[in-house]
Structure 1
């Protein structure tokens, strides 16, 4: 600063014109980087803890968001899940899989399987002829449907009624995990080192959980009973994601088989809303499963509450 005639320093002209730059908060820094690196839309809700929504234009936006959320300590939550937890105590980025990620198509002219992106609406899949979606909320995206515990409340050992045969899932560390049929003749999931390390532990937990008991319903948050399917059914690791509440990973795409889904003449019934939730042992089991999928704590610890707004029945 240059002194005046009295010997007192004066602010420089440059500093006077520009002013002092305000310090950016960690949340503002996160949003700036997210906006610069995203082709999709970012909306800031201007909450005290920090809350925003990303509508990705492509999967690269999701990959970028995952990396930034992990670096900045931001929860990455799926938007649109029924009875989602409010998540107001810590910064959160809600990701809404919109029309840019809503493609669905048969895998081939005579193929009963369908490739489905997370933003596809359940009503569109029902209209396309997939019977398992006949009694489901048509306005939900398939990602929100997959996360909804009430919508995925098949009887113990009968998760195959969902018709879900494959899922590509983005885990917290950036791993893209293939979850599908698993057995002697199909061990494709073991091609992934991260999943390869998870599988034995999941089977151990299944053996210890009493998942082969006579009760017809599954009380815990995560469908570990998928590892003990009913007689005549095949183990499918993708079924672990049914009703996961948005707490285990981000679904990139799914494959459904219209022939394996619940028959159209057998209405879907859910009893989830009438249950109090898992007991202490069940809660401990859930936390162990979640730690296998999300050891980084990137996704919500509780993404969905235990009661659904749809009321009783379907």
Structure 2
């Protein structure tokens, strides 16, 4: 009996589980290297196109799989997880008509950015991880160390093109009366007012008193020490928990300002600020990703003092 007739009579053999169906659909839809772990529901994808990540996130939503930045996933995932390595998405191009500004893909390395003149990404000689992508830098503790509270401008990040948990592709950048680009899309129009409300809370006031903001979701971006509000700075140090970064508009910046001496010394005050930061981070996560499409928030990225 021919294969086609056998399939007609008895049906084609289907994957044994939802995870296997997810992996098969992912392999058919996305370009790039896909590795599926033999033990556990974990897979690794190195996409060739930004569109591949959009397809992957849609499949993740359909099959109940989390999408994680590979470099931000140190521990073994608990839930079914697709770890995405952005190394192939490493474009870097000058922005036409804007000298000194560069459009970088999430896989662009810090070394490449530093060579282009963005010295804030200069990797110290002898660093344990000399090769690091921009996406990993944005997700890790480095922005907290580089940018004191209220000084996200020191990152040199001017705007982010990101993919939100619901699949919306949006741009986060300058915001306010002088900004000519309106908030586009229902998701962003609901998200931004909610974040401003959080930034005016008592917990936010406590965190703004700390020299550094080491929690995911930098609400200090909405109350900058200098310059206007830039929504891109909300994601500095996000731990891969809030959105997928598709591209970054970046420019060279001088040395970051020194963080002020912290007037808080009592252990109770330190604990209160730390608790406030954790509550705010959870609230920001809920606003960005209520269904948990991205991994859980990281632990505190660094010491705020």
TM-score range, shorter chain: 0.7 to 0.9
State yes or no: 1:63 paired with 2:62.
no
Q: Which residue of 63, 79, 83 corresponds with 1:90?
A: 79
Q: Provide the secondary structure at the position in 1 that maps to 2:248.
A: strand
Q: Which residue of 123, 132, 141 corresponds with 2:111?
A: 123
Give deviations 1:280-303, integer Å, cap 9, x for gaps: 33222111111111122100013x
Q: Is the deviation greater in 193-202 or in 64-73? A: 193-202
Cα distance in 1 between the residues matched to 2:27 and 2:250: 34
Give deviations 1:204-251, integer Å, cap 9, x for gaps: 111112067443222432211011111x32110000010000000101
State yes or no: 1:141 paired with 2:133.
yes
**In the alignment, is the contact (CA less than 8 A) between 2:29 and 2:52 conserved in 1?**
yes
Q: What is aligned with 1:293?
A: 288
Distance 1:168 1:291, change over 3 A: same
Q: Which residue of 238, 250, 268 corresponds with 2:244?
A: 250
Q: Provide the secondary structure at the position in 2 that maps to 1:191.
A: coil
Q: What is aligned with 1:3?
A: none
State yes or no: 1:263 paired with 2:255.
yes
Instruction: Give 1 or 2: higher helix fraction.
Output: 2
Cα distance in 1 between the residues matched to 2:209 and 2:50: 42
Cα distance in 2 between the residues matched to 1:213 and 1:56: 38
Cα distance in 2 between the residues matched to 1:254 and 1:74: 26
Cα distance in 1 between the residues matched to 2:91 and 2:246: 11
Q: Provide the secondary structure at the position in 2 that maps to 1:240.
A: helix
Distance 1:124 1:219, change over 3 A: closer
Cα distance in 1 between the residues matched to 2:277 and 2:42: 31
Cα distance in 2 between the residues matched to 1:262 and 1:211: 28
User: Mind listing any 5+ residue stretches in structure 2 that lack a counterpart?
Assistant: 1-5, 260-269
TM-score by length of 2: 0.82
Q: Provide the secondary structure at the position in 1 that maps to 2:99.
A: coil
Q: What is aligned with 1:30?
A: 22
Cα distance in 1 between the residues matched to 2:219 and 2:93: 29
Give deviations 1:100-122, integer Å, cap 9, x for gaps: x1110111376111101111001
Distance 1:156 1:139, change over 3 A: same
Q: What is aligned with 1:113?
A: 101
TM-score by length of 1: 0.80
Q: RMSD over aligned Cα, in angstroms?
A: 2.9
- CA shift for structure 1 position 263: 2.9
Q: What is aligned with 2:186?
A: 193
